[in-house]
Amino acid sequence: MIDPILEELQRNSRSTPEELAKLFHLDAAEITAKIQGWEADGTILGYHAVIDPERAGHTGVTAFIEVKLTPEREGGFDRIARRISKFSQVTSCYLMSGGYDLVVVVEDVNLRAVAQFIAEKLSTLEGVLSTSTHFQLKVYKESRFTIQGESHSGRLPVVP
């Protein structure tokens, strides 16, 4: 099971050590030490805001690219997957079960830029057999946040 403090940070990375201390009946200093430990050993990779791209006026495009690979004799898919991950357009990269090997999530300024990345970089890599690209049309839920929030229940202010 993952540490509940880590879970809490995963939900809201802005929680301060002081706030977490109150929630977990711990010392703020202990919490700070834990977080620093996770940052140092790579358990916490980073922090970001989860945004609604439409509201934020995001005009770029996001593509989900299925990639088929030839596994290497030593190292399987790791070397090539890591290589693909390093491109700055790639926001996520997962090894998958099923009909293809990788899902590569790519964000770029426009369709042309994504197409160029695929044509020039991705599909020319040694070991890449084929790609199939799906463009994202609309976001309904992002990192656990639904875009259209719920009209919250009209609770009565005082209930026995």
Angle between helices 28-41 and 17-24 (to 10 degrees): 120
- Assess 33 for contact with other proteins (CB under 8 A): no
Among 40, 49, 56, 159, binds other proteins (CB under 8 A): 159
d(C-alpha 113, C-alpha 135), whole Å: 13
- Assess 158 for contact with other proteins (CB under 8 A): yes
Residue 45 or 158: which CB sits closer to other proteins?
A: 158
- Assess 149 for contact with other proteins (CB under 8 A): no
- Assess 49 for contact with other proteins (CB under 8 A): no
- Assess 4 for contact with other proteins (CB under 8 A): yes
The token duo for 140 is 């309904």
Q: Which string of b and e fits 54-92 if b means at least 16 CB within 10 Å? A: eeeeeeebbbebbbebeeeeeeebeebbeebeeeebbee
What torsion, rounded to 10 degrees, do the Cα atoms 127, 131, 136, 140 define? -70
Residue 22 or 112: which CB sits closer to other proteins?
A: 22
**Options 19-27, 32-40, 111-119, 134-142: segment touching other proteins (CB under 8 A):** 19-27
* Chain contacts with other proteins (rule: CB under 8 A): 1, 4, 8, 22-25, 150, 152-153, 155-160
